[in-house]
């Protein structure tokens, strides 16, 4: 760590990631990986194009070959300054030339390639024409664990992001809720996330009263009233890594059912956390949390998965959901966020980011999970 900031990643870090990815592709029977601008490219190279356009930018990775970044000539200077650039060979192309033919020359024309999920159809279709004997699979399907297991440096980044989100929650509890619009409180959340170091705010859900029954409610003009349950869900990127936490507060004293539902969700969140251990399946976390809510009689009102991975994006594999049998591995990071949503009335969600350790799980969010009363 440098002060409160995790140490930045070096060219050697990116070189190691690209080697690891190429080996994983080979082990999965893939001829290589084709990585377009997006989170996979950022994770592998540290490079984010200044403008993502119809011009092809593509990282080509294959075991036994040096990594090559195919890049438009006008963006090559920026690519050359990326943190991972010393580990790359840049192959630029100019307007009027065929970048797909240039890319094809780097590939085995009969191979099967992993392609980043967010590659443009425009580019993939053109590559298919240039390499009619090749086939393709999405990285989520072909290499679902590519970014799932974090190293110590990545965990430090995620811990710093979690601490900043916790500091944001401690401060938002002090602001007035009653008589203000949801959007006002959402603005406070965004300001606080930035104050505590976030460079990017991805979401600030403030869902009051009946709006709390919508898990992805967009903060709006509804005036928060005394007696409202309010779901807060907020996060973004700090030093390139994500935060994401949820707490549910109440304006004034809650009634007995509101307290009961909150207690059920808190117990479910604890059960999901306790299910985290190496070798357990992702679905075991979902099952543990869901069982508590179902036993309490609210099973039909828990309407989403228990969790999602987090890293250079705030939502990524792995997913804590029934049917996902991937085993938990030390270094995985994901949310544990059960909820109950009573249509027309209120909702409750409690969310922490958790990392898998050799012994079990470790939370990266440490604020109270008890029901907090706000003004």
Euclidean distance between CA atoms 159 and 163, whole angstroms: 6
If one counts every other C-beta atom within 10 angstroms of the C-beta of residue 291, the result is: 15
Euclidean distance between CA atoms 24 and 146, whole angstroms: 8
What b/e sequence results for 186-206 when a residue is b if at least 16 CB atoms lie within 10 Å of its CB, and e otherwise? bebbbebbbebbbeebbbbbb
Tell whether omega for the bond before 294 is within 30 degrees of 0, i.e. cis: no
Are 34 and 127 a contacting pair, CB within 8 Å? yes
Q: What is the pLDDT of residue 299?
A: 98
Q: What is the pLDDT of residue 64?
A: 85
Residues of the chain with pLDDT under 70: 1-4
Tokens of residue 148, six digits: 């799932």
Straight-line distance from the first to the last Cα atom of the chain, in angstroms, rounded to the nearest whole number: 38
- What are the pLDDT digits (tens) for 151-207? 999 999 999 999 999 999 999 999 999 999 999 999 999 999 999 999 999 999 999
Q: What is the pLDDT of residue 108?
A: 79
Relative orientation angle of helices 152-172 and 182-195, to the nearest 10 degrees: 140
Q: What is the pLDDT of residue 4?
A: 66
- 145 vs 152, 205, 262, CA distance in Å? 17, 29, 34
Q: What is the pLDDT of residue 262?
A: 98
If one counts every other C-beta atom within 10 angstroms of the C-beta of residue 137, the result is: 15
pTM over 0.75: yes
Residue whose tokens read 């543990």:
288
């Amino acid at each position: 760590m440098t002060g409160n900031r995790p140490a930045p990643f070096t060219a050697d870090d990116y070189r190691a990631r690209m080697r690891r990815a190429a080996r994983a592709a080979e082990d999965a029977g893939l001829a290589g990986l084709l990585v377009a601008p997006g989170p996979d490219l950022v994770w592998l190279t540290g490079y984010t194009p200044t403008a993502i356009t119809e011009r092809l930018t593509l990282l080509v990775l294959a075991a036994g070959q040096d990594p090559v970044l195919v890049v438009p000539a006008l963006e090559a200077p920026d690519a050359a300054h990326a943190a991972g650039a010393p580990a790359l060979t840049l192959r630029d192309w100019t307007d009027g030339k065929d970048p797909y033919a240039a890319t094809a020359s780097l590939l085995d024309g009969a191979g099967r390639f992993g392609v980043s999920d967010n590659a443009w159809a425009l580019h993939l279709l053109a590559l298919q024409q240039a390499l009619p004997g090749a086939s393709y699979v999405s990285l989520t399907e072909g290499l679902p664990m590519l970014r799932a297991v974090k190293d110590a440096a990545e965990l430090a980044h995620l811990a710093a992001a979690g601490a900043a989100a916790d500091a944001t929650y401690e401060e938002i509890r002090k602001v007035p809720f009653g008589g203000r619009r949801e959007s006002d409180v959402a603005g406070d959340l965004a300001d606080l996330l930035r104050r505590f170091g976030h460079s990017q705010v991805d979401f600030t859900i403030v869902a009051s009263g009946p709006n709390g029954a919508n898990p992805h409610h967009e903060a709006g003009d509804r005036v928060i009233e005394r007696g409202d349950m309010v779901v807060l869900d907020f996060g973004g990127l700090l030093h390139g890594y994500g935060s994401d936490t949820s707490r549910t507060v109440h304006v004034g004293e809650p009634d007995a059912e509101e307290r009961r539902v909150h207690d059920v969700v808190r117990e479910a969140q604890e059960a999901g956390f306790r299910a985290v251990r190496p070798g357990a399946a992702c679905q075991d976390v979902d099952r543990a949390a869901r069982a508590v809510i179902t036993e309490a009689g609210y099973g039909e009102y828990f309407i989403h998965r228990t969790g999602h991975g987090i890293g250079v994006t705030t939502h990524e594999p792995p997913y804590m959901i029934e049917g996902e049998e991937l085993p938990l591995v030390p270094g995985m990071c994901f949310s544990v966020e059960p909820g109950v949503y009573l249509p027309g009335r209120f909702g409750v969600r409690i969310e922490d980011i958790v990392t898998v350790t050799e012994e079990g799980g470790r939370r990266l969010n440490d604020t109270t999970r008890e029901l907090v009363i706000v003004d």
